[in-house]
Amino acid sequence: MNSDFGKLKKAFIEAVVLLAFTKSRKKRWRNILRNMDLVGDFKSFLQFILQERRGRVLYLELSDAHGEIAPGYIKYFQDLGCSVDVVMDSSVARENPLYCIDGVRFFSTNPVLAPLLLRAIRKSDYQIIFVGTNELYQYKRRFFCDVYRSFCEEHPSKMLIVEHDLKNIEKSFYLASLYKNRRLVVIRNFSDDPLLSEVNPHFFGCFESDARSTEDMTTFVVAGGLGLERRNPALLVEGVRYLLGKGIDDFRVVVVGSGRPDGFPDDVAAKVLWMGRLDYPKLYETVRSSSFFLPLLDPDMQEHHKYRTSVSSGSIQLIYGCLIIPVISRVFAVAYGFSEETCVVYDGNEIGMAMERAIKLSDDERRALTACLEDLKGNVVKKSSSCVRAFL
């Protein structure tokens, strides 16, 4: 039955794409339609427009990314006594980002139904409409505040939008207007700009922070794949080869988010467990059960400069949320407020030596680093909660 429905859905999508879209838009809309839950999204839409009671806050995620930030932002509002409704693109929702959050009314949507849904939201009495991602990646990275500008202009005092790249502010007139009116939220305010509200979302559920101390084998984890835009796989190769050259073999590296890249050396790959893409619960479980986190950010790569000036690395959210000690370049440690009391820091290309130091840490030393990291996280939560309180 499911197989027949899948075939029917695929045939329907191909027919719609063939008839309705120009050649340049066919590939993009084919991917959008394939990721939709056509029946589920329509049922969810009907449930939304028929519900009589609304929450105080609407969390809105119409982009096909960033499901990991949703539970953290929602929890800040819930902890301050706010009821929250959630509308999320179904391609994100199917990866179960809200598994650790209770007490929300959830509705899925897609790019076809989103405009209709926003019409229904216009008639609602939400106090805050919180947009989790301004950049709509499935629309060739157009901005929510531009695609749905009339919606935003109707609710200027209600709108809060998370901007994941500060350089986008100068690309959109309306985004610049939100910025001037202090309605932009960022995950990391690198320059302490008083017009930006730093609210750092990193809640992925509760767990025991010292559960790793009895492990026999050290596990380094990399989350998000090994694409050069986000991390430098050469650092991983260098680190693993350094350890093997020193005769250190009782470790492994777990890579979540992609398979083995083309050309990745066999000697290093033998120490790597390639997990591929995981849903959010399995991702967090994998990170929590690991010993150390490898962001693999490289200060010598131009592509990575943004991760200390305008874009907050998702690795930092995992480090806070899973309380896992990072092995990180000093340049990026400073940018995110880390120190040698909260992480294993290295300079230049000394990642191998840093990984060796991490392996040789005693349980007491690891617990001390984790305790300091937990204190840092607590300060981040207090600052973020204070910003959210100011919105209410």
Query: Is 73 within the bounds of a domain?
Result: yes
**Structural domain for 315, as ranges:** 218-377
Domain count, the chain: 2
Average pLDDT value over all residues in the chain: 89
Q: Are residues 123 and 239 in the same domain?
A: no
CA angle 130, 131, 136 (to 5 degrees): 175
Note whether 121 and 94 are within 8 A (CB).
no
Q: Are residues 163 and 247 in the same domain?
A: no
Q: Are residues 277 and 342 in the same domain?
A: yes
Query: Is 72 within the bounds of a domain?
Result: yes
**Which residue, 150, 169, 198, sits at the end of a domain?**
198
Q: Are residues 193 and 338 in the same domain?
A: no
Q: Are residues 64 and 166 in the same domain?
A: yes
pTM to 2 decimal places: 0.90
Q: Give the integer Cα–Cα distance in Å for 163 and 175.
A: 9
**Which residue, 167, 198, 229, sits at the end of a domain?**
198
Amino acid letter, 105: R
Distance of CA 203 to the CA centre of its chain: 11
Confidence of residue 15 (pLDDT cuts 50, 70, 90): very low
Closest CA to 59 of 50, 46, 41, 72: 72
285: Cβ contacts below 8 Å, ≥ 6 apart: none
Closest CA to 129 of 75, 55, 182, 201: 55
Distance of CA 243 to the CA centre of its chain: 31
Domain with 129 in it: what CATH number?
Answer: 3.40.50
**Which residue, 198, 232, 249, sits at the end of a domain?**
198
Q: Are residues 319 and 266 in the same domain?
A: yes
pLDDT (tens digit per residue) in 119-166: 999 888 999 999 999 999 887 768 998 899 899 988 889 999 999 999
Q: What is the predicted pLDDT for the residue at 228?
A: 85
Q: Are residues 192 and 241 in the same domain?
A: no
